[in-house]
């Protein structure tokens, strides 16, 4: 703390030059940075209010992209399975047309061979029928379709039995479930080959992917909501802390001004000082928010009263651990002002006791 009294002798100081540069940031730094900083402060409330909307938009965009991607994957899975069914049915019909015995004695071998070549799964059903669409051979046998009429099992699939492979692969119903079915007729129309698969089995992997994506989306949304809540909670606490700090700072400044005292914060490591506004008022200088250098402060201390560099060396050498000194400082109008400085040296890196 410092207590002031007036004394004489006018002379120019570095503080007059600082006053000409203005408060806060100095020189070119201020010209470049301060406008952007002020714009940022002005835009901060708008940015704070826009954060929830931005998060919601982000989640909507992510959800829309994933839905489109998943629907595309579903369409690709459907196209692939239809292509496999059509090719397998056509291959079996061609094999029977080339060798009619394949529809009787070699039926099982034909079904197994087609299943291996087409990489069929356990859910695929391969069928060979006669001209009346009565099932001659079926794989797997566990379906229990052997000897039954295929056209009676398959609902909504009449075009398949009328036009064969020209009808393409159709959505049909078997036992109340949705299936994909492809039927191909032999050239003499005495036999038919069919390949079928439940849609549930086709999209089983896709449904697992959908479930995983939904879980990840929900977790992501939950994390963002928690972060948003924490951000606004922290912002609210920061605003409260800033308000308390400003109020306390104003009270301290008011007390210092009324007591004709000033506050110094001297950073030995960086060689910088912070002065309270009351310190500037006592010496008649324009207050500024930037730190002062050793040289700037030493320039306005009377040369007969010592200098800061000598005092700093004593502190660094640990010759003293506190300051209680009377000296003169130059007022802005040229007078000398008597000051009494009292301070305690604090080592920020010292371990706590």
* 328 touches 337 (CB < 8 A): yes
The answer to the question of residue 255 being in a domain is: yes
| Co-location of 191 and 87 in the same domain | yes
What Å distances lie between residue 232 and 39, 46, 186, 229, 246, CA to CA?
A: 21, 14, 72, 5, 21
| Co-location of 70 and 163 in the same domain | yes
295-333 per-position pLDDT tens digit:
888 888 888 887 777 777 877 777 777 788 888 888 988
Q: How many residues does the chain have?
A: 353
Provide φ and ψ at 237, rounded to 5°.
-65, -35
Provide φ and ψ at 101, rounded to 5°.
-70, -15
**Tell me, what CATH number does 94's domain have?**
3.30.450.20
The answer to the question of residue 311 being in a domain is: yes
| Co-location of 233 and 315 in the same domain | yes
Residue 7's pLDDT is what? 36
Q: Does the pLDDT of residue 96 top 50, yes or no?
A: yes
Q: Does the pLDDT of residue 20 top 50, yes or no?
A: no
Q: Does the pLDDT of residue 181 top 90, yes or no?
A: yes
Domain housing 180: 58-202
| Co-location of 135 and 259 in the same domain | no
Percent of the chain at pLDDT above 90? 35
Class of residue 177 by CB neighbours under 10 A (exposed 0-12, middle 13-18, buried 19+): exposed
The answer to the question of residue 31 being in a domain is: no
The answer to the question of residue 37 being in a domain is: no
- Count of domains for the chain: 2
Q: Does the pLDDT of residue 22 top 60, yes or no?
A: no
| Co-location of 174 and 230 in the same domain | no
Q: Which residue has the tokens 């000598």?
A: 310
| Co-location of 198 and 253 in the same domain | no
- Which of these three, 145, 180, 202, is where a domain ends? 202
Q: Is the bond leading into 40 cis (omega within 30 degrees of zero)?
A: no
What are the tokens at 280?
A: 């500037």
The answer to the question of residue 207 being in a domain is: no
Listed ranges 27-41, 62-76, 139-153; the one with the highest mean pLDDT: 62-76
| Co-location of 311 and 187 in the same domain | no
Class of residue 198 by CB neighbours under 10 A (exposed 0-12, middle 13-18, buried 19+): middle
What residues contact residue 146 under an 8 Å CB cut-off, 6+ apart? 135, 137, 138
Dihedral angle computed from the Cα positions of residues 111, 115, 117 and 118, in that order, rounded to the nearest 10 degrees: 130
Q: Does the pLDDT of residue 52 top 80, yes or no?
A: yes
| Co-location of 141 and 191 in the same domain | yes
Average confidence (pLDDT) over 256-279:
79
What residues contact residue 275 under an 8 Å CB cut-off, 6+ apart? 262, 263, 264, 292
Q: Which residues pair with 193 in a beta bridge?
A: 128, 184
| Co-location of 243 and 329 in the same domain | yes
What span, in angstroms and rounded, lies between the C-alpha atoms of 86 and 182?
A: 6
276-291 per-position pLDDT tens digit:
888 888 888 888 777 8
* 192 touches 93 (CB < 8 A): yes
Query: What string of H, E and C letters represents the secondary structure of the chain?
Result: CEEEEECCCCCCCHHHHHHHHCCCCCHHHHHHHHHHHHHHHHHHHHHHHHHHHHHHHHHHHHHHHHHHHHHHHHHHHHHHHHHHHHHHHHHHHHHHHHCHHHHCCCHHHHHHHHHHHCCCCCCCEEEEEECCCEEEEEECHHHCCCCCEHHHHCECCHHHHHHHHHHCCEEEEECCEEEEEEEEECCCCCEEEEEEEEHHHHCHHHHHHHHHHHHHHHHHHHHHHHHHHHHHHHHHHHHHHHHHHHHHHHHHHHHHHHCCEECEEEECCCCEEEECHHHHHHHCCCCCCCCEEHHHHHCCECHHHCCHHHHHHHHHCCCCCEEEEEEEEECCCCCEEEEEEEEECCCCCCCCC
What residues contact residue 148 under an 8 Å CB cut-off, 6+ apart? 134, 135
What span, in angstroms and rounded, lies between the C-alpha atoms of 131 and 170?
A: 20
Terminal Cα-to-Cα distance of the chain (whole angstroms):
26
Average confidence (pLDDT) over 336-342:
86
Provide φ and ψ at 154, rounded to 5°.
-95, 120
Q: Does the pLDDT of residue 161 top 70, yes or no?
A: yes
Average confidence (pLDDT) over 115-119:
83
187-202 per-position pLDDT tens digit:
888 999 999 999 999 9
Q: Does the pLDDT of residue 16 top 60, yes or no?
A: no
């Amino acid at each position: 703390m410092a207590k002031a009294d007036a004394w004489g002798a006018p002379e120019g100081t570095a503080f007059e030059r600082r006053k000409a540069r203005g408060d806060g940031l100095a020189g070119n730094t201020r010209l470049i940075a301060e406008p952007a900083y002020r714009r940022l402060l002005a835009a901060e409330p708008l940015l704070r209010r826009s954060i929830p909307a931005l998060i919601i938009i982000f989640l909507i965009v992510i959800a829309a992209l994933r839905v489109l991607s998943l629907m595309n994957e579903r369409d690709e899975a459907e196209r692939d399975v239809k292509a496999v069914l059509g090719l397998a049915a056509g291959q079996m019909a061609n094999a029977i047309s080339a060798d009619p015995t394949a529809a009787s004695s070699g039926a099982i071998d034909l079904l197994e061979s087609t299943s291996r070549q087409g990489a069929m799964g356990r859910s695929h059903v391969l069928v060979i029928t006669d001209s009346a669409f009565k099932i001659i051979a079926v794989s797997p046998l566990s379906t229990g379709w052997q000897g039954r009429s295929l056209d009676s099992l398959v609902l909504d699939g009449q075009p398949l039995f009328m036009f064969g492979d020209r009808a393409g692969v159709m959505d049909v119903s078997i036992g109340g479930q949705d299936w994909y079915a492809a039927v191909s007729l032999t050239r003499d129309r005495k036999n038919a080959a069919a390949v079928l698969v439940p849609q549930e089995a086709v999209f089983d992997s896709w449904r697992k992917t959908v479930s995983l994506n939904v879980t990840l989306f929900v977790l992501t949304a939950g994390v963002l909501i928690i972060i948003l809540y924490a951000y606004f909670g922290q912002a609210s606490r920061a605003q409260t802390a800033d308000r308390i700090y400003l109020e306390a700072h104003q009270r301290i400044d008011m007390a210092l001004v009324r007591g004709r005292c000033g506050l110094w914060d001297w950073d030995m490591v960086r060689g910088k000082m912070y002065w309270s506004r009351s310190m500037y008022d006592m010496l008649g200088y324009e207050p500024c928010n930037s730190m002062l250098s050793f040289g700037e402060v030493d320039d306005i201390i009377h040369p007969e009263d010592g200098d800061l560099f000598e005092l700093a060396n004593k502190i660094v050498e640990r010759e003293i651990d506190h300051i209680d000194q009377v000296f003169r400082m130059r007022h802005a109008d040229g007078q000398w002002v008597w000051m009494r400085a009292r301070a305690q040296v604090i080592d920020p890196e010292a371990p706590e006791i």
